[in-house]
Amino acid sequence: MEYANNILETIGNTPLIKLNKLTAELPCLVLAKYETFNPGNSVKDRMALQMVEDAEAAGVLKPGGTIIEGTSGNTGMGLALAAVVKGYRMICVISDKQSKEKIDILKAVGSEVHVCPTDVAPDDPRSYYSTARRLATEIPNSWYVNQYDNPSNTKAHYLSTGPEIWEQTDGKVTHFVVGVGTGGTISGVGTYLKEKNPNIKVWGVDTYGSVFKKYHETGIFDENEIYPYITEGIGEDILPENVRFDIIDGFTKVTDKDAAVYTQRLAKEEGMFLGNSAGAAIKGLLQLKEHFTKDDVVVVLFHDHGSRYVGKMFNDDWMREKGFIE
Protein backbone atom coordinates (compact mmCIF):
# COMPACT_ATOMS: atom_id res chain seq x y z
CA MET A 1 0.00 0.00 0.00
CA GLU A 2 1.19 3.49 -0.81
CA TYR A 3 0.53 6.18 1.79
CA ALA A 4 2.22 8.95 3.77
CA ASN A 5 2.73 8.45 7.50
CA ASN A 6 1.56 12.00 8.20
CA ILE A 7 0.73 15.19 6.32
CA LEU A 8 4.32 16.47 6.52
CA GLU A 9 5.53 13.66 4.25
CA THR A 10 3.46 15.13 1.39
CA ILE A 11 5.49 18.37 1.27
CA GLY A 12 7.41 18.96 -1.96
CA ASN A 13 7.50 17.33 -5.40
CA THR A 14 5.05 19.90 -6.76
CA PRO A 15 4.32 19.95 -10.51
CA LEU A 16 5.59 22.24 -13.25
CA ILE A 17 2.70 23.59 -15.34
CA LYS A 18 2.99 25.35 -18.70
CA LEU A 19 1.51 28.84 -18.97
CA ASN A 20 -0.31 29.49 -22.24
CA LYS A 21 -2.56 32.53 -22.64
CA LEU A 22 -0.92 35.11 -20.37
CA THR A 23 2.52 34.37 -21.82
CA ALA A 24 1.46 34.21 -25.51
CA GLU A 25 3.50 37.36 -26.26
CA LEU A 26 6.72 35.79 -25.01
CA PRO A 27 9.06 33.82 -27.30
CA CYS A 28 10.03 31.29 -24.61
CA LEU A 29 8.51 28.33 -22.78
CA VAL A 30 7.17 29.47 -19.38
CA LEU A 31 6.62 26.87 -16.67
CA ALA A 32 5.02 27.54 -13.29
CA LYS A 33 6.40 25.75 -10.23
CA TYR A 34 3.00 25.27 -8.62
CA GLU A 35 3.60 25.34 -4.88
CA THR A 36 -0.05 25.43 -3.81
CA PHE A 37 0.03 21.61 -4.18
CA ASN A 38 1.83 21.49 -0.83
CA PRO A 39 -0.49 20.46 2.04
CA GLY A 40 -0.53 23.94 3.58
CA ASN A 41 -1.12 25.38 0.08
CA SER A 42 2.16 27.27 -0.14
CA VAL A 43 5.89 27.06 -0.82
CA LYS A 44 6.48 27.94 2.85
CA ASP A 45 5.65 24.39 3.97
CA ARG A 46 9.11 23.38 2.76
CA MET A 47 11.12 25.80 4.86
CA ALA A 48 8.77 25.60 7.85
CA LEU A 49 9.42 21.88 8.22
CA GLN A 50 13.17 22.33 7.62
CA MET A 51 13.42 25.05 10.28
CA VAL A 52 11.48 22.94 12.82
CA GLU A 53 13.54 19.81 12.20
CA ASP A 54 16.82 21.72 12.34
CA ALA A 55 15.72 23.39 15.60
CA GLU A 56 14.83 20.01 17.08
CA ALA A 57 18.22 18.62 16.04
CA ALA A 58 20.00 21.63 17.58
CA GLY A 59 18.04 21.24 20.83
CA VAL A 60 16.52 24.74 20.73
CA LEU A 61 13.00 23.37 20.16
CA LYS A 62 12.20 20.96 22.95
CA PRO A 63 9.27 18.55 23.50
CA GLY A 64 6.10 20.37 24.56
CA GLY A 65 7.58 23.70 23.49
CA THR A 66 5.99 26.73 21.87
CA ILE A 67 6.82 27.85 18.32
CA ILE A 68 6.59 31.64 17.82
CA GLU A 69 6.84 33.38 14.48
CA GLY A 70 6.03 36.65 12.73
CA THR A 71 4.39 35.69 9.45
CA SER A 72 2.37 37.03 6.54
CA GLY A 73 0.36 33.83 6.90
CA ASN A 74 1.96 31.11 4.82
CA THR A 75 4.99 30.33 6.97
CA GLY A 76 2.64 30.30 9.93
CA MET A 77 0.51 27.68 8.18
CA GLY A 78 3.50 25.45 7.45
CA LEU A 79 4.74 25.79 11.03
CA ALA A 80 1.23 25.12 12.34
CA LEU A 81 1.02 21.82 10.44
CA ALA A 82 4.39 20.79 11.86
CA ALA A 83 3.24 21.83 15.34
CA VAL A 84 0.04 19.77 15.07
CA VAL A 85 1.88 16.61 13.95
CA LYS A 86 4.79 17.02 16.37
CA GLY A 87 2.85 18.24 19.41
CA TYR A 88 3.93 21.88 19.83
CA ARG A 89 1.95 25.01 20.73
CA MET A 90 1.93 27.54 17.87
CA ILE A 91 1.76 31.34 18.16
CA CYS A 92 1.59 33.40 14.95
CA VAL A 93 2.18 37.15 14.94
CA ILE A 94 0.71 38.75 11.82
CA SER A 95 0.34 42.29 10.44
CA ASP A 96 -3.08 43.85 10.01
CA LYS A 97 -2.69 44.18 6.22
CA GLN A 98 -3.00 40.41 5.81
CA SER A 99 -6.32 38.99 4.67
CA LYS A 100 -8.93 37.87 7.20
CA GLU A 101 -8.85 34.48 5.47
CA LYS A 102 -5.20 34.01 6.42
CA ILE A 103 -5.93 34.78 10.08
CA ASP A 104 -8.95 32.44 10.11
CA ILE A 105 -6.98 29.64 8.44
CA LEU A 106 -4.21 29.89 11.04
CA LYS A 107 -6.79 29.64 13.82
CA ALA A 108 -8.41 26.68 12.05
CA VAL A 109 -5.22 24.65 12.45
CA GLY A 110 -4.90 25.49 16.13
CA SER A 111 -2.64 28.54 16.11
CA GLU A 112 -2.96 31.49 18.46
CA VAL A 113 -2.85 34.67 16.38
CA HIS A 114 -1.65 38.13 17.48
CA VAL A 115 -2.43 40.95 15.01
CA CYS A 116 -0.06 43.97 14.87
CA PRO A 117 -0.16 47.28 12.95
CA THR A 118 1.54 47.35 9.55
CA ASP A 119 2.31 51.04 9.39
CA VAL A 120 5.06 51.16 12.04
CA ALA A 121 8.85 50.84 11.78
CA PRO A 122 10.32 47.32 12.10
CA ASP A 123 11.99 48.24 15.43
CA ASP A 124 8.77 49.73 16.85
CA PRO A 125 7.66 47.59 19.83
CA ARG A 126 4.22 47.24 18.18
CA SER A 127 5.61 45.78 14.92
CA TYR A 128 5.12 42.12 14.24
CA TYR A 129 8.87 41.54 14.24
CA SER A 130 9.23 43.11 17.71
CA THR A 131 6.12 41.45 19.11
CA ALA A 132 7.28 37.97 18.06
CA ARG A 133 10.70 38.54 19.64
CA ARG A 134 9.13 39.86 22.86
CA LEU A 135 6.75 36.90 23.21
CA ALA A 136 9.69 34.52 22.81
CA THR A 137 11.41 36.14 25.80
CA GLU A 138 8.23 36.04 27.92
CA ILE A 139 7.00 32.50 27.23
CA PRO A 140 9.04 29.69 28.79
CA ASN A 141 10.25 26.78 26.62
CA SER A 142 9.58 28.76 23.44
CA TRP A 143 11.47 29.08 20.17
CA TYR A 144 11.40 32.20 17.95
CA VAL A 145 11.73 30.95 14.39
CA ASN A 146 12.90 34.19 12.66
CA GLN A 147 12.42 33.01 9.07
CA TYR A 148 14.12 36.17 7.79
CA ASP A 149 17.54 35.32 9.19
CA ASN A 150 17.19 31.56 9.82
CA PRO A 151 19.58 29.77 7.39
CA SER A 152 17.32 26.70 7.32
CA ASN A 153 14.93 28.77 5.18
CA THR A 154 17.39 28.98 2.29
CA LYS A 155 18.63 25.44 2.99
CA ALA A 156 15.15 23.97 2.42
CA HIS A 157 15.00 25.33 -1.12
CA TYR A 158 18.60 24.37 -1.88
CA LEU A 159 17.78 20.80 -0.84
CA SER A 160 14.32 20.44 -2.40
CA THR A 161 12.88 23.16 -4.66
CA GLY A 162 16.08 23.78 -6.65
CA PRO A 163 16.81 20.09 -7.38
CA GLU A 164 13.15 19.51 -8.35
CA ILE A 165 13.22 22.36 -10.90
CA TRP A 166 16.53 21.12 -12.35
CA GLU A 167 15.26 17.55 -12.69
CA GLN A 168 11.78 18.49 -13.97
CA THR A 169 13.28 20.67 -16.75
CA ASP A 170 15.93 18.02 -17.51
CA GLY A 171 18.54 20.70 -16.79
CA LYS A 172 17.16 22.96 -19.55
CA VAL A 173 15.99 25.79 -17.25
CA THR A 174 17.55 29.11 -18.30
CA HIS A 175 15.75 31.62 -16.02
CA PHE A 176 14.17 31.48 -12.58
CA VAL A 177 11.70 34.22 -11.62
CA VAL A 178 10.17 34.57 -8.15
CA GLY A 179 8.76 37.14 -5.75
CA VAL A 180 11.16 37.96 -2.92
CA GLY A 181 10.14 38.36 0.72
CA THR A 182 12.32 36.56 3.26
CA GLY A 183 14.68 35.58 0.42
CA GLY A 184 14.86 31.89 1.21
CA THR A 185 13.27 30.67 -2.02
CA ILE A 186 15.25 32.81 -4.46
CA SER A 187 18.52 32.26 -2.60
CA GLY A 188 18.17 28.50 -2.12
CA VAL A 189 16.88 27.75 -5.61
CA GLY A 190 19.21 30.29 -7.21
CA THR A 191 22.30 28.93 -5.47
CA TYR A 192 21.48 25.35 -6.49
CA LEU A 193 20.70 26.20 -10.11
CA LYS A 194 23.79 28.37 -10.58
CA GLU A 195 25.96 25.56 -9.18
CA LYS A 196 24.50 23.34 -11.90
CA ASN A 197 24.78 25.99 -14.62
CA PRO A 198 26.29 29.43 -13.85
CA ASN A 199 24.56 30.88 -16.94
CA ILE A 200 21.07 30.53 -15.44
CA LYS A 201 19.58 33.94 -14.70
CA VAL A 202 17.80 34.53 -11.39
CA TRP A 203 15.28 37.39 -11.27
CA GLY A 204 13.49 38.71 -8.19
CA VAL A 205 10.07 40.32 -8.28
CA ASP A 206 9.79 43.25 -5.88
CA THR A 207 7.01 45.68 -5.02
CA TYR A 208 6.86 49.47 -4.71
CA GLY A 209 7.35 50.34 -1.03
CA SER A 210 10.14 47.76 -0.65
CA VAL A 211 13.90 48.31 -0.48
CA PHE A 212 15.22 45.31 -2.46
CA LYS A 213 15.58 46.62 -6.02
CA LYS A 214 17.41 49.85 -5.17
CA TYR A 215 19.65 48.11 -2.61
CA HIS A 216 20.61 45.45 -5.16
CA GLU A 217 21.47 48.07 -7.78
CA THR A 218 23.19 50.69 -5.59
CA GLY A 219 24.06 49.10 -2.24
CA ILE A 220 22.03 51.88 -0.60
CA PHE A 221 19.34 51.05 1.97
CA ASP A 222 17.02 53.94 1.18
CA GLU A 223 14.38 54.55 3.83
CA ASN A 224 12.63 56.91 1.42
CA GLU A 225 11.74 53.81 -0.63
CA ILE A 226 9.69 52.43 2.26
CA TYR A 227 5.95 53.03 2.45
CA PRO A 228 2.91 50.81 3.05
CA TYR A 229 1.81 48.66 0.12
CA ILE A 230 -1.02 46.21 -0.49
CA THR A 231 0.73 43.30 -2.24
CA GLU A 232 1.14 40.43 0.23
CA GLY A 233 4.11 38.14 0.80
CA ILE A 234 6.81 39.97 -1.18
CA GLY A 235 9.01 43.01 -0.56
CA GLU A 236 10.50 44.10 2.76
CA ASP A 237 11.41 47.18 4.80
CA ILE A 238 14.41 45.27 6.19
CA LEU A 239 17.29 43.29 4.65
CA PRO A 240 16.81 39.64 5.70
CA GLU A 241 20.00 37.61 5.95
CA ASN A 242 18.38 35.02 3.67
CA VAL A 243 18.43 37.41 0.69
CA ARG A 244 21.71 36.57 -1.07
CA PHE A 245 21.98 39.55 -3.38
CA ASP A 246 25.05 38.09 -5.13
CA ILE A 247 22.91 35.19 -6.43
CA ILE A 248 20.26 37.52 -7.89
CA ASP A 249 20.83 38.94 -11.38
CA GLY A 250 18.23 41.66 -11.06
CA PHE A 251 14.89 42.82 -9.70
CA THR A 252 11.77 44.14 -11.39
CA LYS A 253 9.09 46.04 -9.45
CA VAL A 254 5.37 45.45 -9.87
CA THR A 255 2.63 47.85 -8.75
CA ASP A 256 -0.10 46.83 -6.29
CA LYS A 257 -2.68 47.33 -9.05
CA ASP A 258 -0.89 45.11 -11.57
CA ALA A 259 -0.31 42.39 -8.96
CA ALA A 260 -4.02 42.38 -8.07
CA VAL A 261 -5.26 42.50 -11.68
CA TYR A 262 -2.93 39.70 -12.79
CA THR A 263 -3.95 37.57 -9.81
CA GLN A 264 -7.49 37.69 -11.24
CA ARG A 265 -6.25 37.10 -14.78
CA LEU A 266 -4.36 33.94 -13.77
CA ALA A 267 -7.62 32.50 -12.48
CA LYS A 268 -9.79 33.60 -15.40
CA GLU A 269 -7.35 32.95 -18.26
CA GLU A 270 -5.17 30.06 -17.05
CA GLY A 271 -7.49 28.40 -14.50
CA MET A 272 -4.84 29.05 -11.85
CA PHE A 273 -6.53 30.12 -8.61
CA LEU A 274 -3.51 31.56 -6.83
CA GLY A 275 -2.38 34.17 -4.32
CA ASN A 276 -1.52 37.82 -4.72
CA SER A 277 2.22 37.23 -5.15
CA ALA A 278 1.52 35.02 -8.19
CA GLY A 279 -0.07 38.01 -9.92
CA ALA A 280 3.04 40.03 -9.12
CA ALA A 281 5.30 37.21 -10.34
CA ILE A 282 3.60 36.78 -13.73
CA LYS A 283 3.46 40.55 -14.33
CA GLY A 284 7.14 40.82 -13.33
CA LEU A 285 7.99 38.05 -15.78
CA LEU A 286 6.13 39.85 -18.59
CA GLN A 287 8.08 43.03 -17.75
CA LEU A 288 11.30 41.06 -18.36
CA LYS A 289 10.21 40.12 -21.91
CA GLU A 290 13.30 41.51 -23.64
CA HIS A 291 15.55 39.15 -21.65
CA PHE A 292 14.04 35.98 -23.17
CA THR A 293 14.67 34.17 -26.49
CA LYS A 294 12.83 31.34 -28.25
CA ASP A 295 15.22 28.73 -26.82
CA ASP A 296 14.74 29.75 -23.18
CA VAL A 297 12.95 27.76 -20.50
CA VAL A 298 11.68 30.16 -17.85
CA VAL A 299 10.46 28.82 -14.50
CA VAL A 300 8.28 31.16 -12.41
CA LEU A 301 7.36 30.08 -8.89
CA PHE A 302 3.81 30.63 -7.63
CA HIS A 303 3.74 30.74 -3.84
CA ASP A 304 0.24 30.13 -2.53
CA HIS A 305 -3.49 29.62 -3.06
CA GLY A 306 -6.33 31.96 -4.03
CA SER A 307 -8.53 30.90 -1.10
CA ARG A 308 -6.50 33.26 1.11
CA TYR A 309 -7.52 36.28 -0.97
CA VAL A 310 -11.25 35.82 -1.70
CA GLY A 311 -12.08 38.92 0.38
CA LYS A 312 -9.47 41.00 -1.45
CA MET A 313 -8.10 40.38 -4.95
CA PHE A 314 -11.03 38.11 -5.85
CA ASN A 315 -13.63 40.55 -4.51
CA ASP A 316 -14.62 43.13 -7.13
CA ASP A 317 -16.01 45.52 -4.50
CA TRP A 318 -12.61 45.53 -2.77
CA MET A 319 -10.84 45.92 -6.14
CA ARG A 320 -13.03 48.93 -7.03
CA GLU A 321 -12.51 50.47 -3.60
CA LYS A 322 -8.74 50.34 -4.17
CA GLY A 323 -9.08 51.77 -7.67
CA PHE A 324 -7.73 48.60 -9.31
CA ILE A 325 -10.76 48.07 -11.59
CA GLU A 326 -13.40 50.41 -13.04
- The residues annotated as belonging to the active site are 44
**Residue 83: closest CA among 57, 63, 99, 105:** 63
As to burial, measured by CB atoms within 10 angstroms (0-12 exposed, 13-18 middle, 19+ buried), residue 120 is: middle
**Residue 71: closest CA among 100, 92, 88:** 92
- 74 CB contacts (<8 Å, ≥6 apart)? 40, 41, 42, 43, 44, 102, 233, 303, 304, 308
Residue type, 135: L
Number of H helices, E strands in the chain: 11, 10
Distance CA 313, CA 317 (A): 9
Biggest CA–CA distance in the chain, Å, is 58
Residue 90 Cα to chain centre, angstroms = 20
- 293 CB contacts (<8 Å, ≥6 apart)? 27, 28
Dihedral over alpha carbons 180, 185, 264, 101 (to 10 degrees): -90
